[in-house]
Amino acid sequence: MGYQESWLVVQPQWCFSKLIRAYDQAARSGYYRTASVEPLSIVVLKQPFGELPKGTKILWVCGDRCFHTPTGVFDGNLKTAAKLRFIPVEQVLDLQDRRLEGIDLSSRMPSENAYMERFCVKDYAARMRMQKEKSR
């Protein structure tokens, strides 16, 4: 056990919206009030990070490391055959990494720099819901 931050990457990337819908279902059910893990941020890479290409969308997950599984993060709401990969944040960044300058991980306001854009997952999910409702 212990606290962990991970990047959750889905391939193919067009399945990213499925992650957000599964997050939204879990959040609406109250799962994250009692769970030991929660997706807090969405990051969109503006430049490659190692093997992750520019444009990759990432779900930044925080909490008890034993919950860093699809079932632990989404309370069983994720239904996809896509490939999911959890990457511990310390494998791609450290706290002093210049690629984090200007990124506020605790704000609901979006932030960005030359390397990434960061969004609050709650707001991102709400925007997706509104777009879906408008297209009906």
Per DSSP, the three-state class of 10 is: strand
10 Å CB burial of residue 101 (0-12, 13-18, 19+) is: exposed
The domain locations on the chain are: 3-134
Q: For 44-92, what is each residue's pLDDT tens digit?
A: 999 999 899 999 999 999 999 889 999 999 999 999 999 999 999 999 9
Structure tokens at 42: 């969405």
Question: For the whole model, what pTM was predicted?
Answer: 0.91
Task: Over range 105-128, report the average pLDDT.
Answer: 94
CB of 112 within 8 A of CB of 99?
Answer: no
What's the pLDDT at 86? 96
Query: In 12-126, which ranges are E strands?
Result: 37-45, 57-64, 83-88, 111-112, 116-120
Q: Which residue has tokens 């779900």?
A: 59
The β-bridge partners of 85 are: 9
What's the pLDDT at 47? 96
pLDDT band at 1 (very low <50, low <70, confident <90, very high): low
| Sheet containing 57-64: order of strands | 83-88, 3-11, 57-64, 37-45, 116-120, 111-112
Residue 136 has pLDDT above 80, yes or no: no
pLDDT band at 132 (very low <50, low <70, confident <90, very high): confident
What's the pLDDT at 7? 96
